[in-house]
Structure 1
Amino acid sequence: MMRGYKVHYVPGWDCHGLPIELKALSELKEAQNLSPLEIRRQAKEFAERAIEKQKSAFIRWGIMADWTNCYHTFDGKYEAKQLSVFHKMYDKGYIYQDYKPVFWSPSANTALAEAELEYNQQHVSRSVYIKFPLLKSPPKLASVIAGSPTVSLLIWTTQPWTIPANQAICYMPDSDYSIVKCANTGEWYVLAANRVESTAAILDTQFEVISMCKGVDLENGSCAHPTIPGRVSPFLPANHVTMTKGTGLVHTAPAHGMEDYSVASHHQLPMDCLVDEDGCFTEAAGPELHNKAVLEEGNEAVIQMLQAAKNLLKEEKCVHSYPYDWRTKKPVIIRASKQWFVNTADIKATAQELLKKVKFIPASAVNRMLEMLDRRTYWCISRQKSWGVPIPVFYHKTTGESLINSEIIENVIKIVEQHGSDAWWKLPVEQLLPKKVGSHNVLDYVQGQDVLDIWFDSGTSWAHVLEGADQKADLYLEGKDQLGGWFQSSLLTSVATRKKAPYKTLVVHGFTLGEKGEKMSKSIGNVVDPDIVINGGQDHTKEPPYGADVLRWWVAESNVFTEVLIGPAVLSAAKDDINKLRNTLRFMLGNIAGFNPDTDSIPISEMYVVDQYMLHLLQDYANKVTEAYKEYDYSKVIRLLQAFHTRDLSNFYFSIIKDRLYCEEEKDPKRRSCQTALAEALDVVVRSFAPILPHLAEEVFQYLPYKKESECVFRSGWITTSSVWKKPGLEEVVEAACAMRDSFLGSIAGKNALEHEVVIVIEPGLLFELMEALQSEESSSVSQLNEIMMASQTTLLSELPIEMATDEKIIKGTFLINLEGGDIREESSYKVIVLPAAKAKCLRCRKYTADSLLSLCPRCTEVIAGKWSA
């Protein structure tokens, strides 16, 4: 905004979804048996309370946005836009209904998308090694197996509860397999050749290899199901079989695995699901399993059945990564059910190509998102919940057949736009369905109860916020978890309907961790509340109020593209950094009192060299800061700012110009010269940190002595510098003088520089000429060179006086002059002689330049006389 762009940031809230529904219902004593409308009312009220609280916090943090025109995903107009996107995708054939395995949360009774999962790396499963007895020998192995004792295929699984749903055993066609004899029992087993030794060790036995074969040789064989008499499991080739763990043979349950489903579809295997929405076995699983939770007693019951059938070889605990519902924090299962899907396969290739044209910050994030897109198979968009936007589909009361078409969707969109999505549950079916639906009788149908996935909800925000069908957002900003969530759902919906990405740039940030790098958790009690950081906790001695700018500084200072740490020590350091900056600003504000840039500025050619040098440094600082902002590299802005205000301003420039500021006559051009530089420095520095510390920047602007009545830092533009400030030659002049100053100050470490005089000896040449530009007379207490040296008097000579030739206090040094881009290079030597000041201390300026202890120095006498005469 400061750089002159028209910025329109429309804040919005994702209001639907399970977290809000669960939170709202947890506040009720009797949440059971509530109607969908009652659940929706509770959820909406909860969301509205949260929005108001969050909005006031965001405003307090200094976030500039169109707060009067926020969007909420429960607004009727937003919901109508979302259904319009659904409509376009449906018309183009991207949305369909199917019976497929999906991630299912028994704890929340709903299907989940992959973006709604989190993986618990410490999940413990009861893994089993089991036998599938050979029924029909593969023709190519008939001669090897003929006359042998019992032969079984060895299977390993971490999900024993899926065994009742087994329909096949899969092998890898090109891999090597072994037929082995067990040393303990004499039985023969089939397993992958490279899994023989490790499996024998786990089973505490030894295997003797009887024969070897290729996976393809298992073709047309079958085995008996280990718990269901009469069930036959054929051997089938598949590419998803891995050889890194297990036995190289994979138990296949089409209702409980994505790859299993693909194999079953190809070979027309049954895909019956024996698990209900609560995660319990259905009646079809048999009386021993019916109503038992598959992840608990159901698992135990299957293991007992395997043991009873003498097909269990070993059970052991397996610690591995397992998907959990990110809201309920409980394990999910894969379960086949009838759901609505987006066919991402037909969108993916275009989405990936368009994504390559999007600018990613950091750049590495693009590869992660491309990989995630690549892995995505299909997108389940139906949820078995009440708090959301309804899928506009009707079902026949007796056959269950779905009824959906363009006319129906359009009618629902009009109703939702006028009355909001509550109308789906409020209005009778004859109002929701158009009068004419072919040969169908409207009263034979009932509206579906599924709502759209919240990633579809948020992923269509572009359709509501962006004006015009062709518009793209300049920027989307979110955490790295959204590479598989909002960033992706926004891309897929936009590509499906408009064949373009909804954004030009993605900024991807990391997460906040505790001070010691630990994950924040309410159970541990280490969650840092931003409101407490800003306003303080109940006990200010333990939780002091830092204000919004400290929080903002901490964010900017952190490398936000990785994990960032927060805690009392980090915040206290940020507060100290801001206080140091405030002191620098206070010095500049105090010393431009009585100065008006419009009337009192000194032309750059007439300014002191060190003041011109400061403008030279300012321009370089301004350019680097502007570039860092363009790359969203706020930590670099902070580093540049800290280096500039502490090193270049406070430590260097302020210490040099204090005498001129405090002791010269108020309107003297020499004083006005450094005030001119100070005013420019203050302006550049304040604008440079305004996007990070808006409150401090605005506060400084309110105290400018020459402030215009309505001037606001954010309405007055970005940093402005002049090309005439850039004077590379000045660097050599000032830095050469500083090299000599360092020699002088280094020799009197810890002592007052004003108690000394300095003699500088340089042989005639370029370096002498540069120093002569700072001091034309031989000795001076008020020259530009003496100001930089910070001594009471400086003498510049071209040869060493005879009386000083043997003095031990001669400090020798060299300085390399590099001008005209390297065309002029000259290394010159210099000598610095430090002498005690010969005169008395001036009571006003404290330099040792007075004739007696009771008199002022000539410069101060002149200034005072001028004041009297005035």
Structure 2
Amino acid sequence: MTDTPSDTARDYRDTVFLPKTDFPMKAGLAAKEPAILERWATLGLYDRLREQRAGRERFILHDGPPYANGDIHMGHAMNKVLKDIIVRSQTLLGKDAPYVPGWDCHGLPIEWKVEEAYRAKKLDKDQVPVAQFRAECRAYAEKWVAVQRAQFERLGVMGDWEDPYLTMKFDAEAAIVGELLKFAESGQLYRGAKPVMWSPVEKTALAEAEVEYEDVVSTQIDVAFEIVEAPGAPELVGAHAVIWTTTPWTIPVNQALSYGPEIDYVLVDVMVADRFVPIGEEVAAWKSGGKFLIAAALVSAFAQRTAKNFGGTTDLQTVWMGKGSQLAGTVARHPMHALGGFFAKPRPLLPGDFVTTEAGTGLVHMAPDHGEDDFLLCKAHGIDPVFAVDGAGMYRPDWLWLGGQGSVINKKFVASDGPICSDLRAAGALLAASDDFAHSYPHSWRSKAKVIFRATPQWFIPMDQPQQAESAHSPIEIGAEIGFAPVLGHAKGNGPTLRNIALDSIERTRWVPARSQNRIRAMVEQRPDWVISRQRAWGVPIALYVDRKTGQYLNDPAVNARIVDAFKAGGADAWFDADHQALLGEKYVAADYEVITDILDVWFDSGSTHAFVIEARYGEGTRANLYLEGSDQHRGWFQSSLLESAGTRGRAPYDAVLTHGFALDGQGRKMSKSLGNVVDPLKIIQESGADILRMWVAQTDYFEDVRIGKEVLGTTSDAYRKLRNTFRYLLGALDGFSDAETLEVGKMPELELYVLHLLGKLDVELKAATANFEFNRYLRLLTDFAAEDLSAFFFDIRKDSLYCDASGDVKRRAYRTVLDILFHALVRYAAPILTFTAEEVWQARYPSEDGSVHFLEWPVLPALPGDDALSTKWADLRALRVQVTEAIEPLRRDKQVRSSLEAEVTVPKSAMSLEALAEAFIVAKVTEADTVSVKPTDFHKCGRCWRHLPEVTEDGTLCARCAEVVPA
């Protein structure tokens, strides 16, 4: 009905049914959504749902706790919206799907922010009493929990906001320490000193998940160690073994060298002509050349690096060749041996299977304080760390070389003209040095400063200690494998290790997408023992007592129970001002025990949440159906939760894990303030509304990294408007509809049956998408159905019947009945994603102070006969309809017709009647021929329905149908 009646024709508009609704085309979401949120709060929506679904099948999505330390960003918004869509979709399926939001409140992220405030005031945090500092951290976390809670609620996230979980609540802190003590009681805990990632700026050990890698340019040096003994190759005595490193600061802590037993090594003689001798400190040592031991495969690279020191020559003559195995028993001396003491000790050459010829010299210098391979190899040969570098990255004051100097991450300190290289040069040991080696290096993701590997006394959970065969929870033998003190021993086990249990649990878990399983498996296969201690102040302490004489930690269940009770009553603060004699009881003397005050790794906190959220609320042994976080959590929360549960329960805490990508800007770049490309979710909500942001989340392929920007959001807004207009049409077309008008399915025309068939197919596909958490597919199916099957097809064809047929006409009743079915289905399908709009749509038709679309369950569609022939028939018609529309378009452009109603078409013979085809194509007449053709019709136009029909004698008079409907 695109034409308009002439000025002289009678106006029949009052006889035509036109859709009527107050539902506005303009959404105005930013203004409406807060009022809808207030209504839900008044209604008690979340609690009412829990009451309604009590006893139903439960679906638990366990919320990974964000840090309470700032406004939410796009990653938060994407994560929370995706969780909410899943929770709401499971609720729609009729399940009891509680959602308990939570926050990580301990650890360095919050402590660092509080320290920043001290630094801004030029105050030293270390001078503040621990109790005061912890109180400030708690207050800071409380502030941001409140802020983020309001922001998450504004996104439309439904959950138990009145009782969220916080890792700093007393019951949570008690549960966390209780989980730690389970590890202690089963022997899965040891105190040792081995290299861990350490931040000299933050002065604490870091977990792998707290580290990010950045490209840097470092100083690379070649250093000569004079060989003093070589029983397997006497020719080497007096020559120099050469090492290459990009961490010059580790040379003052060197204790050995390592070779590859199967690598081919050569002794090269550097031939130096006097005329090429350079001017500088190197002249005295190397004016006559020298003999150097390196891997045969790396001679050329070595020659290029050292050419400057050797007068420009790269003429290296091989004077000896042999396998690395011939270096067994070889001993060198440190370049700074003249200092005596530590530096005068022999430096043995040790076989290492980690030595390669990919770079350097094929010989690796060993500093057991500062490398995992170094530590293990040296430990196997009785060489222990010396702890020369302190927590701030300075050499300890009594160290013979560079004592009290540093920091070792200071670029100037380790540069080719810095004190380390200068001293090595003066000692005649520096063969090459340049500040140009580009590589990736670990940094703290908070301070952005470089980290180092540093051996310090820490507490560890072992990955490879066998447990007792009869039970995964039986004590395991830890032994004093590493470090300062032996720990309480147990009978040697022969069961699975924590790594074994974790890997087995990975296989038993559903990973979405499936490829993410490979990632976490590789990480667990390769990860070292879990270092769980931090040298900080804010968090749950490692509440253990260590015997001062034996070094064993006290393992007494009665003492542990008193510790847990103390935490329940006073939180983690209770440990710092505790009456330790009272906790120890009469059996022990407090003076005999060291009170451990190290703080638990915050990943242990969050890894324990399943214990005090899932099991505490839903029963012991209950597992979450789903964990959902970003892909970085394979080395973070997914893994710490897995290890904690595997170590205490012998299984994973989840049935399935979903991983999403990161939110990037519109050009695919990582968002950063420095680039000025941060897209603020709060601004999007303020300008466009939360439903636009929610629709964007569902629209993306969130298993990969996704883009968001003005153009992307514009596309989302267009899609939203089309879906909103579909709902607006349904509301208008159903004005006045009642149950009395409903028509039985068996009496419906083919078109209505076909559309119901399409709806049934959509229903099946949406359920499958829900089961696979594929909400981008879910939304695409929904929007395509609304736009293509409904607006462009079904609504288009049936608008004539809706507007002009008699109210009791079977076709019109059938159409409105199907519209009613569509309304009830589509508003439910949309509700998990467009949570505000679906509520607005529902209330527009069923206004109620006590009702909500979110109380509804998945639609139950009418049963249909399985007639594939009907589906094929109408699919063929739709394909032909496209051809007809394309054929009419040239006539429309040439203004031969103004609308399809003025066209007559010919089409190939069809299974449909010609009258049905004319109705479907919305044309005046259809005839049959071999090809599709179009011409303007000669029929006159009905003054009411505007169809061109043979019975209309002149324009403006009525066709037979309209004459029957219009009162005389």
The reply to whether TM is greater than 0.5 is: yes
What is the identity, as a one-letter code, of the residue corresponding to 2:936?
Answer: P
Q: Which residue of 2 aligns with 1:124?
A: 217
What SS does structure 2 have at the residue aligned with 1:314?
A: strand
Preserved CA contact (<8 Å) 1:435 1:442: no
Q: Which residue of 2 aligns with 1:20?
A: 110
Q: Which residue of 2 aligns with 1:257?
A: 371
Q: Offset at 1:699? A: 1.3
What SS does structure 1 have at the residue aligned with 2:162?
A: helix
Preserved CA contact (<8 Å) 1:393 1:447: yes
State yes or no: 1:203 paired with 2:306: yes
Preserved CA contact (<8 Å) 2:541 2:599: yes
Q: Which residue of 1 aligns with 2:48?
A: none
State yes or no: 1:134 paired with 2:230: no
State yes or no: 1:295 paired with 2:409: yes
| Structure 1 stretches lacking a partner, 5+ long | 536-544, 776-782, 798-809, 814-831
The whole-number CA distance in structure 2 between the counterparts of 1:739 and 1:8 is 46
Q: Which residue of 2 aligns with 1:322?
A: 441
State yes or no: 1:76 paired with 2:226: no
The whole-number CA distance in structure 2 between the counterparts of 1:178 and 1:381 is 44
The whole-number CA distance in structure 2 between the counterparts of 1:319 and 1:404 is 48
1:332-731 equivalent positions in 2, closer than 5 A: 332-345=451-464, 346-394=497-545, 403-406=553-556, 407-437=558-588, 441-443=589-591, 447-467=595-615, 468-535=619-686, 545-596=687-738, 598-704=739-845, 710-724=850-864, 726-731=866-871
What is the count of residue pairs matched by the alignment? 798
Relative to structure 1, the CA distance from residue 736 to residue 168 in structure 2 (aligned partners, 3 Å threshold; closer, same or farther) is closer
Preserved CA contact (<8 Å) 2:924 2:939: no
The whole-number CA distance in structure 2 between the counterparts of 1:740 and 1:9 is 49
What is the identity, as a one-letter code, of the residue corresponding to 2:306?
Answer: L
Q: Offset at 1:710? A: 4.5
1:241-252 equivalent positions in 2, closer than 5 A: 241-252=355-366
What is the identity, as a one-letter code, of the residue corresponding to 2:602?
Answer: I
Relative to structure 1, the CA distance from residue 54 to residue 755 in structure 2 (aligned partners, 3 Å threshold; closer, same or farther) is same
What is the identity, as a one-letter code, of the residue corresponding to 1:482?
Answer: Q
Q: Offset at 1:667? A: 2.9
The whole-number CA distance in structure 2 between the counterparts of 1:295 and 1:645 is 60
Q: Offset at 1:689? A: 2.2
What is the identity, as a one-letter code, of the residue corresponding to 1:554?
Answer: W
Q: Offset at 1:251? A: 0.2
Q: Offset at 1:85? A: 1.1
Q: 1:168 aligns with which of 253, 256, 264?
A: 256
Preserved CA contact (<8 Å) 1:280 1:298: no
Q: Which residue of 2 aligns with 1:785?
A: 917
| Structure 2 stretches lacking a partner, 5+ long | 1-90, 273-287, 308-313, 339-343, 465-496
What is the identity, as a one-letter code, of the residue corresponding to 1:285?
Answer: W
Relative to structure 1, the CA distance from residue 476 to residue 713 in structure 2 (aligned partners, 3 Å threshold; closer, same or farther) is same
Q: 1:220 aligns with which of 322, 326, 329?
A: 329
The whole-number CA distance in structure 2 between the counterparts of 1:272 and 1:738 is 81
Preserved CA contact (<8 Å) 1:164 1:285: no
Q: Offset at 1:158? A: 0.6
What is the identity, as a one-letter code, of the residue corresponding to 2:345?
Answer: R
1:790-829 equivalent positions in 2, closer than 5 A: 790-794=922-926, 812-813=930-931
State yes or no: 1:848 paired with 2:938: no
What SS does structure 2 have at the residue aligned with 1:363?
A: coil
The whole-number CA distance in structure 2 between the counterparts of 1:682 and 1:211 is 87
What is the identity, as a one-letter code, of the residue corresponding to 1:504?
Answer: D
Q: Offset at 1:443? A: 4.2
Q: Offset at 1:201? A: 2.0
What SS does structure 2 have at the residue aligned with 1:140?
A: coil
The whole-number CA distance in structure 1 between the counterparts of 2:875 and 2:592 is 90
Preserved CA contact (<8 Å) 1:511 1:563: yes
Preserved CA contact (<8 Å) 1:14 1:72: yes
The whole-number CA distance in structure 2 between the counterparts of 1:571 and 1:214 is 64
When you count strand as a share of all residues, which structure comes out higher? 1
Q: Can you list the C-alpha shifts for 1:167-217, whole angstroms capped at 9, x where unaligned?
A: 110011112111212233441111111111222122232322222211110
State yes or no: 1:266 paired with 2:392: no
Preserved CA contact (<8 Å) 1:608 1:784: no
Preserved CA contact (<8 Å) 1:273 1:337: yes
Stretch deviating more after TM superposition (359-368 or 732-741): 732-741
What SS does structure 1 have at the residue aligned with 2:715?
A: helix
The whole-number CA distance in structure 2 between the counterparts of 1:694 and 1:171 is 64
What SS does structure 2 have at the residue aligned with 1:349?
A: helix
Q: Offset at 1:74? A: 0.6
| Greater relative CO (CA pairs within 8 A, separation 6+) | 2
Q: Can you list the C-alpha shifts for 1:522-573, whole angstroms capped at 9, x where unaligned?
A: 23232222211101xxxxxxxxx11111111111111111111112221222
The whole-number CA distance in structure 2 between the counterparts of 1:228 and 1:285 is 14
Q: Which residue of 2 aligns with 1:800?
A: none
What SS does structure 1 have at the residue aligned with 2:800?
A: helix
TM-score between the two structures when normalised by the length of structure 1: 0.88
What SS does structure 2 have at the residue aligned with 1:284?
A: coil
Percent of matched pairs sharing the same residue: 37
Q: Offset at 1:484? A: 0.8
Relative to structure 1, the CA distance from residue 273 to residue 718 in structure 2 (aligned partners, 3 Å threshold; closer, same or farther) is same
Q: Offset at 1:858? A: 1.7
Relative to structure 1, the CA distance from residue 558 to residue 67 in structure 2 (aligned partners, 3 Å threshold; closer, same or farther) is same
Relative to structure 1, the CA distance from residue 617 to residue 352 in structure 2 (aligned partners, 3 Å threshold; closer, same or farther) is same
What SS does structure 2 have at the residue aligned with 1:369?
A: helix
Stretch deviating more after TM superposition (468-477 or 162-171): 468-477
RMSD: 2.1
Preserved CA contact (<8 Å) 1:275 1:282: yes
Relative to structure 1, the CA distance from residue 225 to residue 720 in structure 2 (aligned partners, 3 Å threshold; closer, same or farther) is same
Q: Offset at 1:325? A: 1.1
Preserved CA contact (<8 Å) 2:270 2:289: yes
Q: Can you list the C-alpha shifts for 1:52-95, whole angstroms capped at 9, x where unaligned?
A: 11111111111121222211001111111111111111111111
What SS does structure 2 have at the residue aligned with 1:283?
A: coil
Q: Can you list the C-alpha shifts for 1:732-753, whole angstroms capped at 9, x where unaligned?
A: 3323434444444333212421
What SS does structure 2 have at the residue aligned with 1:79?
A: helix
Q: Can you list the C-alpha shifts for 1:279-299, whole angstroms capped at 9, x where unaligned?
A: 100023226432331222553
The whole-number CA distance in structure 2 between the counterparts of 1:50 and 1:599 is 55
Relative to structure 1, the CA distance from residue 840 to residue 459 in structure 2 (aligned partners, 3 Å threshold; closer, same or farther) is same
Q: Which residue of 1 aligns with 2:282?
A: none
Q: Offset at 1:136? A: 0.7
Q: Offset at 1:385? A: 0.8
Q: Offset at 1:104? A: 0.9
Preserved CA contact (<8 Å) 1:107 1:330: yes
Stretch deviating more after TM superposition (854-863 or 238-247): 854-863
Q: Offset at 1:31? A: 5.1
The whole-number CA distance in structure 1 between the counterparts of 2:264 and 2:676 is 53
The whole-number CA distance in structure 2 between the counterparts of 1:126 and 1:466 is 50
What SS does structure 2 have at the residue aligned with 1:560?
A: coil
Preserved CA contact (<8 Å) 1:616 1:725: no
What SS does structure 2 have at the residue aligned with 1:84?
A: helix
The whole-number CA distance in structure 2 between the counterparts of 1:666 and 1:569 is 45
1:763-782 equivalent positions in 2, closer than 5 A: 767=910, 770-772=911-913
Relative to structure 1, the CA distance from residue 593 to residue 726 in structure 2 (aligned partners, 3 Å threshold; closer, same or farther) is farther
